[in-house]
Amino acid sequence: MCCQQVLTQREFLDTRQTNSAHLDLVATPHAAPLARLFLREQARIGLPPHSLATAELLTSELVTNALMHARTSLNVGVTWDVDDKIVVAVQDATQQTPTRSARQLHIYEDEIVESGWGMFLVATLADDFGWYLLPAGGGKVIWFGLGVADHVPA
């Protein structure tokens, strides 16, 4: 599914010993929380709490970006190897390429909301990330890889 192309193009995971799980989501406000829940269910792979929290945050960012910009159904994939490194990929159905957006302030019912930090967080916190277009107009996949540190940084 959506992780397969990442695994063939990158050497982030030991592809001889991986497991994967995928989830289809509709484009609703419930997609990001459902993606986090799905990731937590897969966390039985042994992710320590600090790595799981980072993976959940980055997954939320990718799903939210897809919802805001692609507005299509999504496929979320999680692949992990025996070293507990993970790749999370989000596939949407558009060929619209990701662009760097300016950070913006939005006012919603007397509340100021800042946006435009999602991919900055992904670039800062992930060990690897990227995106690619699927062949024959099949949409695009954006993904991140996260290695599991043996200890929490001091």
**Average pLDDT estimate for 4-9:** 64
Strand boundaries in the chain, DSSP class E: 18-25, 74-81, 86-92, 104-108, 111-115, 128-133, 140-146
- Where residue 116 falls among pLDDT bands split at 50, 70, 90? low
Residue 66 vs residue 106, higher pLDDT: 66
Residue 71 pLDDT: 85
Residue 123 pLDDT: 87
Residue 152 pLDDT: 44
Are 32 and 95 in contact, with CB atoms under 8 Å apart?
Answer: no
Domains and CATH numbers, the chain: 4-146 (3.30.565.10)
Q: pTM for this structure?
A: 0.80
Smallest Cα–Cα separation from 77: which of 28, 12, 10, 145?
145
Task: Choose the weakest-confidence range: 3-7, 59-63, 135-139.
Answer: 3-7
Residue 76 vs residue 108, higher pLDDT: 76
